[in-house]
Amino acid sequence: MGLFDQVMKAVADPSRQASASQLTNILGAAKQIGTQNNADSDTMQQAMTVIGGFVRSALKEKRQTEGNSAAQALIEQGSANGAAVIPALFSNSQLTEMISAVASKTNLNTNQVQGILPMVLPLVMQFLSTGNKKGGAAVTESNPILTAFLDGDGDGDVDMGDMLGMAGKFM
Q: CB neighbours of 26 closer than 8 A, spacing ≥ 6?
A: 123, 126, 127, 164
Taking the C-alpha atoms of residue 130 and residue 93, their distance in angstroms, rounded to an integer, is 30
Q: CB neighbours of 85 closer than 8 A, spacing ≥ 6?
A: 74, 77, 78, 121, 125
Taking the C-alpha atoms of residue 157 and residue 141, their distance in angstroms, rounded to an integer, is 25
**How high is the pLDDT of residue 137?**
52
**How high is the pLDDT of residue 79?**
85
Taking the C-alpha atoms of residue 20 and residue 152, their distance in angstroms, rounded to an integer, is 22
Angle at which helix 160-170 crosses helix 110-129, to 10 degrees, equals: 60
Give the mean model confidence (pLDDT) for residues 139-148.
74
Taking the C-alpha atoms of residue 88 and residue 116, their distance in angstroms, rounded to an integer, is 18
Rg of the chain over CA atoms, in angstroms?
15
Q: Where are the beta strands (DSSP E) in the chain?
A: none
* Straight-line distance from the first to the last Cα atom of the chain, in angstroms, rounded to the nearest whole number: 20
Contact status, residue 109 vs residue 100, Cβ threshold 8 Å? no
pLDDT confidence tier of residue 11, bands split at 50, 70 and 90? confident
Per residue in 85-142, pLDDT (tens digit) is: 999 999 999 999 999 999 999 989 999 999 999 998 988 898 888 888 887 655 555 7
Predicted TM-score of the model (pTM):
0.82
CA-to-CA separations, 25 to 33, 54, 110, 164, in angstroms, rounded = 12, 23, 26, 11
Q: CB neighbours of 104 closer than 8 A, spacing ≥ 6?
A: none
Per residue in 29-84, pLDDT (tens digit) is: 888 998 998 888 888 888 988 998 899 999 999 989 998 888 888 988 888 887 88
Give the mean model confidence (pLDDT) for residues 139-163.
64
Contact status, residue 125 vs residue 5, Cβ threshold 8 Å? no
pLDDT confidence tier of residue 161, bands split at 50, 70 and 90? low
> Which has more pLDDT, 168 or 115?
115
**How high is the pLDDT of residue 171?**
47
